[in-house]
Amino acid sequence: MTLSADQRMAVNAGRMLTRFKTCFVGIGAPSLAAALAQRLLSPSIALIYESGAIGARPDRMPLSTGSPCVADGASVIGSMLDVFGELQAGRIEVGLLAGAQVDCHGNLNSTVIGDYAHPRLRLPGSGGALDIALLANEILILMPHEPRRFVSRVDFITSPGHGGVDRAALKLGRGPTAIVTEKARFDFVSGTAVLAAVFEDVTPDEALDGFPPEFGRADHIETIPLPTREETDILKAIPPA
Amino acid sequence: MSKIGPLSEIVRGAVRSGDTVFVGGFGQAVPFAIGFEIIRQRIGDLVLCRTGADILVDMLIAAGCARRVVIGWIGNPGLGLAHAFNRAVAAGRLEFEETSNFGLLLRLLAARLGVPYLPTRSLLGGDMPQHLPTLKQVKCPFTGETLAAVSALTPDVAILHAQRSDEHGNIQAWGILGDTVEGVLASKCVIATVEEIVSSKEIARQPDRTIVPGHRVDAVALVPFGAYPSYCQDYYGRDDDFYRRYDAIARKEESLTAWLAENVHALPDWTKYLAHVGPARLEDMIDAAGPDARAHQVMRS
């Protein structure tokens, strides 16, 4: 059984969540990665949604962070202030972010394609993404391997990565620590994304295919084991949104 | 004196052209019945604000009710873009101020607390802050740290939907509320629709569920299914399929205009709209919300 790009991304990111007790989650690929982690390797991880749900256990993929399945089974339904308050106080360990574009510094764009004043396409905007990017202890970026999404320069920095903000001086989170795709994982070395690991069935060249040259390549590239039978079964059993 | 009244009258009495309107609800309890009544009465020139603006705000924009929106996010959750918003902005018909959800929440919280601004560690990076006139960098007078300050935003009126209220307007709501409580308590005037009117004794049995005290509420209308096609916990589920259909309807201005004409302007009130949706659909939504929802519907019938 082959997995979709989102499902392989979920495997890739989901395995990385074992280090964390608290995870700020958004809609789409982040929710799927978090759901897999919660069902397999990280059963006690507290999933936190901006709508105010803490310890959420959605039984299907939600369309909205305020969907019924986010509320059902949650440990706490607080307010948006409760969850952003925890976030700002530095008490949420990791945030999962996606976006329309990412650059090699982990800057994410979810605002416009094209010029801000006269864009070719206006996107829904930050929501909580800017807040999460600055305030979670660290960030994992989930981005499908589509070359138009990996750019030298994002059209608009909605959610800052490395370099533009003095995170230490402003007492912000550490920023992005990895970008995961359905093919590979990029780690940040001195604030720049470098290819660090590829799935067993992908070559390093394939993992970088179509990306701008700013995305580097580590000297030694690890191998990521293919999705297991168990991971595949769990992902197939999660109803889509 | 009772604060309960018909929906058309409470909207006419509270929402005036030019007002800044906080739209309550977050996933749950989006006040569609009040929004449709605003469209039906052709109230214009509004400034709409909410953190995560969903398709009700897009409909209000399409209907020509809004001059400006103040938002953290606008779209069709999980599905895509706010098509009417994008068309209106591109055509220069709509002003907007976009920030982050936390940034806007703090503006409302400042108004709720009666202070002119609040500091935050968010909003200190990226391209958005340079476009935000309501944000400045400040130094903490105690520690010298650099923080962002966001100015208070005081809506003229808040519109919300909730599970129940008594005749004095003590509104009880539960489930996911997002930014609703901060936005409502920041506002000068509050109107609500509710699934049920209950006795004050019933309210006092669970006062921890009261999100806004009666003395802060101007008027309440009894409007079952007033949050459809969003949901109301323990009453009915979310009609995800409608949100999917809206994406197709809203892609073209003509089809959205026709939809609003048929489903809002051509119908005299919300009851007729629900009849137009059809009882079978609403029954499905009750079933989707579990056995408590069925029990609530039986009790009030």
Residue A172: closest C-alpha in chain B: B121
CA angle A77, A142, B127 (to 5 degrees): 85
- Number of helical (H) and strand (E) elements in chain B, helices listed first: 12, 12
- A72, A123, A126, best to mutate vs chain B, most B CBs in 10 Å: A126
> For residue B301, what pLDDT band results from cuts at 50, 70 and 90?
low
* Share above pLDDT 70 across residues of chain A, in percent, rounded to a whole number: 100
B102 Cβ under 8 Å from any chain A Cβ: yes
Over 70: is that where the pLDDT of B263 sits? yes
Q: Is the ipTM of this complex over 0.90?
A: yes
Over 70: is that where the pLDDT of B262 sits? yes
- Residue B118 φ/ψ region, left for φ over 0, alpha for ψ in the -120 to 50 degree band, beta for the rest: beta
Over 70: is that where the pLDDT of A57 sits? yes
pLDDT average, residue stretch A49-54: 98
Nearest to B23 by CA among B72, B64, B63: B72
pLDDT in tens, B77-98: 999 999 999 999 999 999 999 9
For tokens 């999933």, what's the residue?
A47
B28 Cβ under 8 Å from any chain A Cβ: yes
Q: Which of B122, B128, B238 sits opposite A88 (nearest CB)?
A: B122
Which residues 6+ apart lie within 8 Å of B9 measured at CB?
B219
Over 90: is that where the pLDDT of A49 sits? yes
Active site residues of A: 50
d(CA A133, CA A128): 9
- Run of H or E residues at B200: helix B200-205
Chain B residues in contact with A50 (beta carbon < 8 A): 52, 101, 178
Asked if residues B30 and B63 have their Cβ atoms less than 8 Å apart, the reply is no
For tokens 């700013």, what's the residue?
A214
Over 90: is that where the pLDDT of A1 sits? no
Chain A residues in contact with B75 (beta carbon < 8 A): 123-125
Chain A residues in contact with B174 (beta carbon < 8 A): 77
Over 80: is that where the pLDDT of B300 sits? no
pLDDT in tens, A155-208: 999 999 999 999 999 999 999 999 999 999 999 999 999 999 999 999 999 999
Which amino acid is located at A129 in the chain?
Answer: A
Quote the pLDDT of residue B291.
Answer: 85
pTM value is: 0.97
Cα-based distances in Å from A7 to A12, A88, A144, A223, B47: 9, 30, 10, 18, 41
pLDDT average, residue stretch B107-113: 98
B4 Cβ under 8 Å from any chain A Cβ: no
Task: Enter the CATH code of domain B7-99+154-300.
Answer: 3.40.1080.10
What b/e string do you get for B141-171 counting C-beta neighbours within 10 Å, with b at 16 or more? Answer: eeeeebbbbbbbbbbbbbbbbbbbbbbbbbb
Average pLDDT, chain B: 97
Chain B residues in contact with A111 (beta carbon < 8 A): 98, 127-128
pLDDT average, residue stretch B264-284: 97
Average pLDDT, chain A: 97
d(CA B58, CA A118): 20
B81 Cβ under 8 Å from any chain A Cβ: yes
* Pairing verdict, β A53-54 and A76-77: antiparallel
Per-domain residue ranges of chain B: 7-99+154-300, 117-151
* Pairing verdict, β B189-197 and B95-98: unpaired
pLDDT in tens, B277-299: 999 999 999 999 988 898 888 77
pLDDT in tens, B205-252: 999 999 999 999 999 999 999 999 999 999 999 999 999 999 999 999
pLDDT average, residue stretch B15-19: 98
* Share above pLDDT 90 across residues of chain A, in percent, rounded to a whole number: 99
Quote the pLDDT of residue B141.
Answer: 98
